[in-house]
Structure formats: structure tokens, C-alpha cells
């Protein structure tokens, strides 16, 4: 079987391709970085380092790599594809759609008759819908637009594994190595699939994908935000150090006590099932074998402070069910004061500027969609005071 993966980064190589290769797929990477394309083609293999589970680390072979501007090459790969994936970053989906549209018009007429699905593997809001609408826009005026709509599915996946920069020790094994966490499930929206549902290691075709997506966002991502933003305030560099800190872990436990009953009610699932899911999230971030950084997870704070994202969106859900949200308010208070660890993070700089010039009421209203007159705004301000009393926050 043949798979095309748009992107050659950590998730593309260290998760999607890793699962596919273990199931006998030939993989064609489509990558924008010409140096990486050349290096992967010359080596003909790369190493996946599974942190905390070295017996599952392995070399990935049986792949080719194509430059993103090679339209004819991409068309040829898609002609043979049984399935395709994107892992390019949500902000790049529109540009990728234009490339796919061009390649689709290059494809052999006979190849247009077979059905397959493009699965988005992006940490982005509604990436499948965005990719599909952009591809159809790229095909406007083409006689192949109708064929694309009829035969090519666009679906979404939830990325449960994290990829981090390989250490120097791992790079001694392979300069192109990828280090990943020990997670193996790839949930995919069953409703978006066309053609045969292909079995491969880790894949789970989900019926209620939207519900699972919300569960993951409001559990894993909220847990992650609590750990990362509190860890950054305390000057902790490693995410696992922050997650294992007794005081931070206690706040995470309180966050889970707030979110678990709300999510269980919203999804109509047993509370025990949601509690186990939340514990799985905490365990992931407490894994000391994973070298990952609080700064990386705190990055891009303005997007993460959005009204429907991992902090405010979760808070609104808890509020909906009349559950106190004191611990979530601590997470929000910490995120509002995210220190600029990386001067190359433009939204961190923007957040800092807004806070210093206009105060946290302006952030709550303009970014979080929370009126300063709402009770939750007052609660957040009390939690800012709490963080100052603990000397986790200056001033």
C-alpha cells in the first residue's frame, strides 16, 4: 500500500510515517525543505527514538521524498496513493491546497477514478474544512473539480503523540532522527473517509469525532496549559519537572476535578471514563524520559487564550454546568502573565505589551472574550493575587 505525507517534520516522520511503516506502507514525503529532501533521499532511512520505550525505537525505510514544488512528482505519488496525510502546520494549509490543486490537474485521467482520503494531522481549528474549501477554490473553473468532490475524502486526525528535538546523543545515531513520546493511537474522523478504511497500526476510525476532539482539547490541552504556564512562571524549563512539581500537580488535580464532571456530562460518558482520560494526560506530561520544554508549550499564548480554546473554552464548559472553576482561573491568570521566554515569539511580545499598557481587563475582553464585569473576571483577578502571594508572580 502507498501513502503520501505532506510534510517531513517531527509528527510527519516520527508519528504518521512510523505507524504506516510498521504496517508495510511505502511512504512518499512531500517536503518544502530541499536540504531535508536531499538528506532523506541520500540516507534512505531515518531513526525514530521512542522516549521511555527504547525497544520500540526503529529505523524507518521504504520511503521517497519529493520537493513541494515538484508538481508532476506529487501528481504521480497521488495517482498511486491509498491514503494521504498533511502535517504542515495549520497556517500553511491554504498554500498546500494550491499545490494539491495543481497536482490534481496533473494526474492521469484514469487515476482520477479511484477514491482515497487526505487526512489532516494539524493542531488547528477545523483543518479539514479549511483544506477542502481551499482545494476546491484552487480547482475553480477546472473540469476536475467535480471529480475531486466525488472521489477524494478530506478527514481529520487528532495527534496524541508529541515530537521533540533529538538530543545530541540520539543525533549520534542519526542526524535526521526524531524523538517522540510513547503514544500509539491515531484517532481519525470516520465520517470524512472515502474508499476503503485502511487498517494500520494505531489507527482508530472514530464515529463521534467532534466529541472526541473536544474531549481531547479540554483534557490534554488544558492539562498541558496548566503545567506549561505555571512552570514558566516558576522558571522551570522542562515540562516534566513542572508536571511533577507537587504544588503544580495539586493544581492540575484541582483542574481535573472541575473539568471531568463537565466533560462527562457534555459528552454523555461515564465520569470514571473521563477521569481515566485525564489521568492519562497527566501521566503523559509527567514522563521524565521525555525532554520537552515549558516554553515550547506556552508559545503562541494569544491563540491559546482564545474564547473557544483550551483555557477559556474549557472554563466556559465548566461554567455551563454550574461547577466552580477556581483552579481553571489559576491557569488563566498564569497564562495572562506568560513571561516572554522567547523573544522570537511575536504573540508573547504582543501579550506582554497589551498587559503592560492596558492591563488584564483588556486581555480578558479583547482576546478571551470575557467581559471585565463577569464574575469570572473577578475570580481571575483573585487568582492573580493568589499567584503573587505564592511569589510565583512578580509585582
Q: Give yes or no for residue 100 having a pLDDT over 70.
A: yes
Q: Where in the chain is the domain with CATH 1.10.1040.10?
A: 211-389
> Which residues on neighbouring strands pair with residue 63, listed in sequence order?
27
Helix axes 127-138, 93-106, angle to 10 degrees: 50
In tens, the pLDDT along 63-92 reads: 999 999 999 999 999 999 999 999 999 999
Q: Give yes or no for residue 102 having a pLDDT over 70.
A: yes
Cell numbers for 40, please give them: 532523506
Phi-psi category of 107—alpha, beta or left, where left has phi over 0 and alpha has psi -120 to 50? beta
- CA quadruple 249, 333, 310, 274: dihedral, nearest 10: 40
The answer to whether 223 and 269 are in contact (CB under 8 A) is no
Q: Give yes or no for residue 395 having a pLDDT over 70.
A: no
What is the distance between the alpha carbons of residues 133 and 138, in angstroms, rounded to a whole number? 9
Percentage above 90 pLDDT, the chain: 94
Q: Give yes or no for residue 265 having a pLDDT over 70.
A: yes
Q: Check residue 262 and give its pLDDT.
A: 98
* 3-class DSSP assignment, residue 395: coil
Decide: residue 201, CB within 10 A, 0-12 exposed, 13-18 middle, 19+ buried. Answer: middle
Q: Give yes or no for residue 110 having a pLDDT over 90.
A: no
* 3-class DSSP assignment, residue 157: strand
Cell numbers for 69, please give them: 514544488
The answer to whether 10 and 34 are in contact (CB under 8 A) is no
Cell numbers for 97, please give them: 491546497
Cell numbers for 149, please give them: 468532490
Q: How confident is the model at residue 114 (pLDDT cuts 50, 70, 90)?
A: confident
User: What does each C-alpha distance from 223 to 9, 61, 218 come to in angstroms?
Assistant: 25, 35, 8
Task: Supply φ then ψ for residue 187, to 5 degrees.
Answer: -75, 130
What is the distance between the alpha carbons of residues 32 and 68, in angstroms, rounded to a whole number? 5
The answer to whether 40 and 170 are in contact (CB under 8 A) is no
**Residue that has been written with the C-alpha cell 549520534 in this structure:** 172
**Degrees to nearest 5, angle at CA 288 with 285 and 291:** 80
Q: Check residue 344 and give its pLDDT.
A: 86
In tens, the pLDDT along 309-326 reads: 999 999 999 999 999 999
**Residue that has been written with the C-alpha cell 490537474 in this structure:** 105
Q: Give yes or no for residue 153 having a pLDDT over 80.
A: yes
Q: Give yes or no for residue 109 having a pLDDT over 90.
A: no
The answer to whether 39 and 5 are in contact (CB under 8 A) is no
In tens, the pLDDT along 40-53 reads: 999 999 999 999 99
**CATH, range 211-389:** 1.10.1040.10
What is the distance between the alpha carbons of residues 271 and 284, in angstroms, rounded to a whole number? 20
Q: Give yes or no for residue 118 having a pLDDT over 70.
A: yes
| Separate counts of helices (H) and strands (E) for the chain | 20, 12
In tens, the pLDDT along 1-14 reads: 999 999 999 999 99
Q: Check residue 394 and give its pLDDT.
A: 81
The answer to whether 380 and 367 are in contact (CB under 8 A) is no
What is the distance between the alpha carbons of residues 304 and 340, in angstroms, rounded to a whole number? 15
DSSP string covering 32-76, please? S-HHHHHHHHHH--EEEEETT-GGG-EEE-SEEEEETT-HHHHHH
Q: What does the DSSP 8-state code read for residue 322?
A: T
Task: Supply φ then ψ for residue 115, to 5 degrees.
Answer: -95, 140
Average confidence score pLDDT of the chain: 96
Q: Give yes or no for residue 231 having a pLDDT over 90.
A: yes
Q: Where in the chain is the domain with CATH 3.40.50.720?
A: 2-207
In tens, the pLDDT along 312-363 reads: 999 999 999 999 999 999 999 999 999 988 888 999 999 999 999 999 999 9
What is the distance between the alpha carbons of residues 106 and 227, in angstroms, rounded to a whole number? 48
User: What does each C-alpha distance from 241 to 197, 278, 294 come to in angstroms?
Assistant: 40, 19, 9
The answer to whether 355 and 363 are in contact (CB under 8 A) is yes
Percentage above 70 pLDDT, the chain: 100
CB proximity list for 294: less than 8 A, separation 6 or greater: 227, 228, 231, 232, 236, 237, 238, 239, 242, 341
**CATH, range 2-207:** 3.40.50.720
Amino acid at each position: 500500500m502507498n501513502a503520501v505525507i505532506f510534510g517531513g517534520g517531527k509528527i510527519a516522520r516520527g508519528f504518521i510515517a512510523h505507524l504506516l511503516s510498521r504496517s508495510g506502507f511505502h511512504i512518499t514525503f512531500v517536503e518544502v525543505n530541499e536540504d531535508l529532501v536531499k538528506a532523506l533521499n541520500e540516507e534512505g532511512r531515518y531513526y525514530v527514538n521512542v522516549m521511555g520505550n527504547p525497544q520500540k525505537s526503529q529505523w524507518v525505510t521504504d520511503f521517497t521524498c519529493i520537493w513541494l514544488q515538484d508538481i508532476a512528482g506529487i501528481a504521480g505519488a497521488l495517482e498511486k496513493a491509498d491514503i494521504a496525510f498533511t502535517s504542515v502546520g495549520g497556517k500553511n494549509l491554504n498554500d498546500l491546497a494550491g499545490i494539491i490543486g495543481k497536482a490534481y490537474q496533473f494526474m492521469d485521467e484514469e487515476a482520477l477514478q479511484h477514491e482515497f482520503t487526505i487526512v489532516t494531522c494539524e493542531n488547528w481549528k477545523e483543518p479539514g474544512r479549511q483544506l477542502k474549501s481551499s482545494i476546491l477554490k484552487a480547482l475553480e473553473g477546472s473540469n476536475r473539480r467535480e471529480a475531486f468532490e466525488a472521489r477524494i475524502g478530506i478527514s481529520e486526525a487528532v495527534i496524541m503523540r508529541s515530537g521533540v528535538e533529538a538530543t545530541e546523543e540520539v543525533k549520534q545515531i542519526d542526524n535526521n532522527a526524531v524523538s517522540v513520546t510513547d503514544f500509539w493511537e491515531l484517532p481519525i474522523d470516520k465520517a470524512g473517509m472515502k474508499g476503503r478504511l485502511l487498517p494500520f497500526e494505531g489507527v482508530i476510525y472514530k464515529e463521534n469525532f467532534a466529541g472526541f476532539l473536544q474531549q481531547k482539547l479540554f483534557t490534554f490541552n488544558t492539562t498541558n496549559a496548566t503545567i506549561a504556564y505555571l512552570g514558566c512562571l516558576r522558571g522551570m524549563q522542562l515540562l516534566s519537572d513542572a508536571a511533577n512539581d507537587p504544588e503544580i500537580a495539586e493544581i492540575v488535580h484541582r483542574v481535573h476535578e472541575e473539568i471531568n464532571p463537565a466533560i462527562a456530562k457534555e459528552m454523555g460518558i461515564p465520569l470514571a471514563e473521563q477521569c481515566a482520560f485525564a489521568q492519562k494526560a497527566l501521566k503523559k506530561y509527567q514522563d521524565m524520559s521525555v525532554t520537552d520544554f515549558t516554553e515550547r508549550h506556552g508559545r503562541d499564548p494569544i491563540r491559546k487564550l482564545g474564547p473557544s480554546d483550551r483555557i477559556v473554552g474549557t472554563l466556559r464548559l465548566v461554567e455551563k454546568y454550574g461547577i466552580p472553576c477556581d483552579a481553571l482561573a489559576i491557569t488563566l491568570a498564569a497564562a495572562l502573565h506568560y513571561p516572554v521566554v522567547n523573544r522570537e515569539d511575536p504573540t508573547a511580545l504582543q501579550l506582554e505589551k497589551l498587559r503592560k499598557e492596558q492591563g488584564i481587563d483588556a486581555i480578558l475582553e479583547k482576546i478571551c472574550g470575557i467581559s471585565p464585569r463577569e464574575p469570572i473576571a473577578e475570580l481571575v483577578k483573585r487568582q492573580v493575587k493568589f499567584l503573587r502571594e505564592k511569589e510565583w508572580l512578580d509585582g
